[in-house]
Structure 1
Amino acid sequence: MTVVETVLARTPEPLRSVLVKHRELLKFAIVGGTTFLVDNGVWYFLKLSVLESKPTTAKAIAIIVATIVSYVLNREWSFRTRGGRERAHEATLFFLISGVAVVVNLIPLLISRYWLHLEVPNVSRFVQEVADFASGSIIGMLLAMVFRFWGFKKWVFPDELGERRKDGVTRIPR
C-alpha cells in the first residue's frame, strides 16, 4: 500500500473524497513536509555551527539542498503522470522556478533580521530563534510553497504533456 493510500484509508469519508480529488496536492504536501524537515535540519545544523554569523546564507544553502530532494520526489512521485519534456528541460524549469521560490522564501527572514532587527544584541537569543523560525521556516516556506505548486503545475509538469502518458501513448525519451 502506498503512502497516499495509507493516508486515505485512515481519513474519514467526507474528507477522503476531497483528498482523492486533490491527490496530487496531497502528494505535493507530503513531499513538502519531507523537504521541510530536510530544510530545517540543514539550516539549523549550519546556523548553529559553521555559519552562525550568516543565518541567511545558511538558509539559502538549506533551501538548495531541500530543493534537490524536492525535484527527485516531485518528479518521481507527486507529478509522475504529468510532464513529458526532455529531462534536462524539465530540470531547468524546475530549478528556475525553485530559484525564484528561494528568493520568495528568504524575503521574510531578511525582513525579520535586517529590517526589524530581530537579532542579538537587539533581542534575546530566544526571540531571535523564534523570529527566524517563524519568518524563515513558516512564513517564507508557505509563500514559496504556494508559488512552487503553481509554477510546477503550470510550467514544469504541465498536464497537457502528461495526458499522453495517461492515454498509453509512448513516453517522450529522456
Structure 2
Amino acid sequence: MSVLALLTLRMRDAIGAVWREAAKFGVVGALAFVVDNGGYNLLVFGLPGGEVGGPMRMAPVLASVMATGVATVLSWVGNRYWTYRHRWCGNVTQELALFLSVNIVGVAITAGTVFLSRHLIGLESALGDNVARISGWVLATLFRFFAYRRYVFVTHC
C-alpha cells in the first residue's frame, strides 16, 4: 500500500473518531441543555401558565448558575462514562478538577450573557433571557468541546 493511501486511511479514521466523539458530546450536551434551560425557566418563571413566577424570579443570574451546575453534573457523568470512556486513565480527581475548571468558565459565559441581556441591554422577558442563555450556551459548548478534548479527557497513562 502506498504512503498516500496509508495517510488517507489514517486521516479518514481520525476524522471519523472526532465525528463520533462530537456526536456523543452533542447527545450529552442536548440532555444537559434540556436540564439547564428547563431548570432555569422553572426557577425564574415557574410552571407554564403560572402567573406568580418561579422561586428565583428575583435572582435570574443565580438561577442560571444553579441550573447550569445541575446540568454540569449530568454532563460529567455522560462525557466521562460514554463520550470519552475510551480515554479512561484512572486519575479521576485530576480529570474532575479540570472538568470543573472548564465548566466554571462555561458557567461564566452563560451567566454572562444573561447579565448582559438583563443589566446592560435591559431585556427582562422570558424570550430575552432564553435568547441570551442560548447564545451563551452555544459559545460555552464550543469552548467545552475543545477544552475537554485538549485538556480534560486526555490519555496521560
Structure 1 segments of 4 or more deviating over 3 A?
18-21
Partner of 2:132: 135
TM-score by length of 2: 0.81
- Output one character per residue of 1:65-94: Cα deviation in whole Å (capped at 9) or x when no partner: 000110000000011111415111111110
Identity of aligned residues (%): 33
- What does 1:32-43 align with in structure 2 at a 5 Å threshold? 32-43=29-40
Q: How far apart, in 2, do the equivalents of 1:47 and 1:63 lie?
A: 13
Q: Does 1:154 align with 2:154?
A: no
Q: Aligned to 1:51, what secondary structure does the other structure show?
A: coil
Q: How far apart, in 2, do the equivalents of 1:19 and 1:66 lie?
A: 27
5+ residue gaps, structure 2: 1-14, 46-53
Structure 1 pair 106–21 and aligned structure 2 pair: CA distance change class (3 A) = closer
Q: How far apart, in 2, do the equivalents of 1:84 and 1:27 lie?
A: 19
Q: How far apart, in 2, do the equivalents of 1:50 and 1:32 lie?
A: 26
Q: Does 1:103 align with 2:100?
A: no
Partner of 1:75: 80
Q: How far apart, in 1, do the equivalents of 2:148 and 2:18 lie?
A: 18
- The two structures, once aligned, show a CA RMSD in angstroms of 1.6
Q: How far apart, in 1, do the equivalents of 2:144 and 2:63 lie?
A: 21
Partner of 2:8: none
Question: Counterpart amino acid of 1:40?
Answer: N
Q: How far apart, in 1, do the equivalents of 2:95 and 2:18 lie?
A: 25
Question: Counterpart amino acid of 1:92?
Answer: A
5+ residue gaps, structure 1: 1-17, 120-127, 162-171
Q: How far apart, in 2, do the equivalents of 1:155 and 1:85 lie?
A: 15
Question: Counterpart amino acid of 1:150?
Answer: F
Question: Counterpart amino acid of 1:34?
Answer: L
Q: Is the 8 A contact 1:104 1:144 kept in 2?
A: yes
Q: How far apart, in 1, do the equivalents of 2:18 and 2:101 lie?
A: 29
Question: Counterpart amino acid of 1:108?
Answer: T
Q: How far apart, in 1, do the equivalents of 2:100 and 2:92 lie?
A: 12
TM-score by length of 1: 0.73
Aligned residues: 135
Shift of 1:105: 1.3
Shift of 1:100: 0.9
- What does 1:1-174 align with in structure 2 at a 5 Å threshold? 22-48=19-45, 49-119=54-124, 128-136=125-133, 138-158=134-154, 160-161=155-156
